[in-house]
Amino acid sequence: MSQLVLITGGAGFIGSHLADELLARGLRVRVLDNLASQVHGSDARRPDYLDCGVELMHGDVCDPAAVRSALRGVDAVFHFASAVGVGQSMYEVMHYTRTNNLGTAVLLEALIEKPVAQLIVASSMSLYGEGLYRTARGETRVVGERSLEQLRRADWEWRDDEGAQLLPAPTPETKVPALASVYALSKFDQERMCLMIARAYGMKAVALRFFNAYGPRQALSNPYTGVLAIFASRLLNDSPPRIFEDGWQQRDFVSVYDIARACRLALETPAAAGEVFNIGSGEACTVREIAQRLAAVTGKEHLQPEITGKYRVGDIRHCFADISKARDVLGYTPQVKLDDGLAELAAWLEGQAAVDRVAQASAELDARGLAI
């Protein structure tokens, strides 16, 4: 009988694409998901996009009985169950800590009782805080957090001691984490707990630090998730994308298909055990540019980005991936070009509806003094 793989949080965006990837390789897939309303809507029903070959168990990763039941007969686990959102994590602290930290602890205690061969955990680029920088002379610089005084005068960039602007550089896995939000802290906690417990109990664990994923099936009505999903929601409602700071901050946008492929490679590669990998495109793109490109492919060029000039607590300036380790060890090479990925996303969006909750989310941040 083929290998049985459990994906916690597997009814969501990335998890469902991973399920497709694993099914195509002949594996059996089980999903444990609480079908949270912020992601799936209020009816908590099985998503139409989830392959009929996936066994869905509706349950909470924080429920020990549900987790033990989901683990029966399982050979490998992908731990994707997580509350996602930098801004929201700064005021829904208990929810993020419960779901991400406690949920991981519940899973790990169940795995201590009944270990599996492999455990792969979804981590996040957010734990880096700021990415790596270099001076004009090519010297590496690691920076901290921008001061509130600097941010209030809309001086967004990092500078050296002489006042020259530092240049963003690809960020490798060796960069020391700088945890700027409760979400980042919880993802680092998930990552380290999984690697630690797996090593102690003879399981092979891998942590994958995802950068900014995009593609079909994103939760368009969730205003705290990926930036492209948030921009798409605005455009579908004939509203301009809203951008913090000046829009020139750089990020790494990676297709969900490439992420799913990287996850499968982590499962299949013995040398990955005990390691941490960046999973991104390896290319930088400004947030302003990504908003304009999405507007263009959706036929909404007239909806130019609204540049707020505000700073959101927990945000960083630049971060994009150095993917050389994933390339060397996993054999991972991104296959989806950004233009092609955006075109496919636009085609999928044509049949979608979204509730635009961006203004509501912004008001929450403003009320708590989390947007300056």
Catalytic residues: 183
Rounded distance between C-alpha atoms, residue 233 and residue 213, angstroms: 16
Q: What is the largest CA-CA distance in the chain?
A: 65
Q: Which residues in 337-361 are b (16+ Cβ under 10 Å) and which e?
A: ebeebbebbbeebeeeebebbbeeb
